[in-house]
């Protein structure tokens, strides 16, 4: 059963998500945190940075693994997920970059890069807490429908819907890369705990399908129903279909 927690608005949901992460960090200072990007997560990282600056959280021993990365986008490009995480979270909290991992989507051998990322997660003992958002089509990470629910970290082609949703991250006239490396659904389900965050009416249908519908590759997030420790933090708009 997924633990569904509702909040009146996106600001309160972000604060609750940050408090949840901080509680896990206090319990395990060397927390291995899986991190997601996207507009939903920006307020969560803002709250975490504020907690760091207020002395409420020490992230120095934490290690982070990004859920995904665009293929062929240099890490220095501001739209890369490495750069996005650095701007919103890693740089403000002053964490050692060597403790922050991302799929090597610039590798000459992308298949080897997917295997190497899986191996890196295993090498640290697995992910303690995985943060996830959800796409309007029910994707988690870049696992687009219909997703392989038994899939590991892999190379994926992005749908037109996802490309359109992410176009705002790029300068005008620049098209997002059409491929990415993403943690697979099975990789995600290996995390000891999962925190799903969704806000806004645009996520209403996806959340209803993910949390109430059948286990269905057409809604990759529905696979979270098979995990024993998932907390879903939702604002009122995202939860309105439940």
Whether the CB-CB separation of 194 and 232 falls below 8 Å is answered with no
Whether the CB-CB separation of 215 and 139 falls below 8 Å is answered with no
Concerning whether 144 is annotated as a catalytic residue, the answer is yes
Question: Which of 77, 137, 143, 166 is labelled catalytic?
Answer: 137
Concerning whether 68 is annotated as a catalytic residue, the answer is yes
Neighbouring residues of 3: CB distance < 8 A, sequence distance ≥ 6 = 230, 231, 232
Burial class (CB in 10 A: 0-12, 13-18, 19+), 123: exposed
Concerning whether 137 is annotated as a catalytic residue, the answer is yes
Question: Which of 104, 128, 144, 216 is labelled catalytic?
Answer: 144
DSSP string, the chain: --EEEEESSHHHHHHHHHHHHHHHHHH-TT-EEEE--STTHHHHHHHHHHHHHTTS---TT-EEEESEEETT--TTSTTSHHHHHIIIIIHHHT--GGGEE---TT-S-HHHHHHHHHHHHHHTT--SEEEE---TTS-BTTBPSSP-TT--SEEEEPPHHHHHHHGGGS-TTPPPPSEEEE--HHHHHTSSEEEEEE-SGGGHHHHHHHHHS--BTTBGGGGGGG-SSEEEEEETTGGGG-
Question: Which of 139, 166, 216, 235 is labelled catalytic?
Answer: 139
Concerning whether 193 is annotated as a catalytic residue, the answer is no
Question: Which of 68, 104, 128, 235 is labelled catalytic?
Answer: 68
Active site residues: 68, 137, 139, 144
């Amino acid at each position: 059963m997924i633990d569904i927690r509702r909040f009146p608005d996106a600001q309160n949901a972000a604060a609750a998500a940050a408090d949840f992460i901080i509680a896990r960090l206090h319990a395990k200072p060397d927390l291995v945190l899986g991190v997601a990007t996207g507009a939903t997560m920006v307020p969560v990282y803002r709250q975490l940075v504020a907690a760091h600056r207020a002395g409420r959280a020490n992230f120095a021993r934490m290690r982070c693994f990004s859920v995904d990365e665009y293929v062929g986008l240099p890490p220095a490009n501001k739209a890369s997920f490495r750069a996005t995480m650095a701007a919103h979270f890693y740089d403000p909290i002053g964490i050692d970059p060597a403790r922050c991992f991302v799929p090597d989507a610039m590798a000459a051998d992308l298949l080897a890069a997917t295997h190497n990322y899986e191996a890196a997660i295993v090498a640290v003992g697995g992910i303690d807490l995985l943060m996830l958002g959800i796409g309007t089509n029910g994707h988690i990470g870049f696992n687009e429908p219909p997703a392989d629910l038994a899939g590991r970290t892999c190379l994926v082609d992005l749908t037109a819907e996802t490309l359109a949703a992410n176009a705002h991250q790029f300068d005008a006239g620049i098209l997002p890369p059409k491929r990415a490396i993403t943690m697979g659904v099975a990789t995600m389900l290996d995390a000891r705990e999962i925190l799903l965050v969704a806000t806004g009416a645009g996520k209403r249908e996806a959340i209803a399908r993910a949390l109430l519908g059948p286990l269905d590759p057409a809604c990759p997030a529905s696979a979270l129903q098979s995990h024993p420790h998932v907390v879903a933090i939702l604002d009122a708009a995202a939860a309105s279909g439940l």
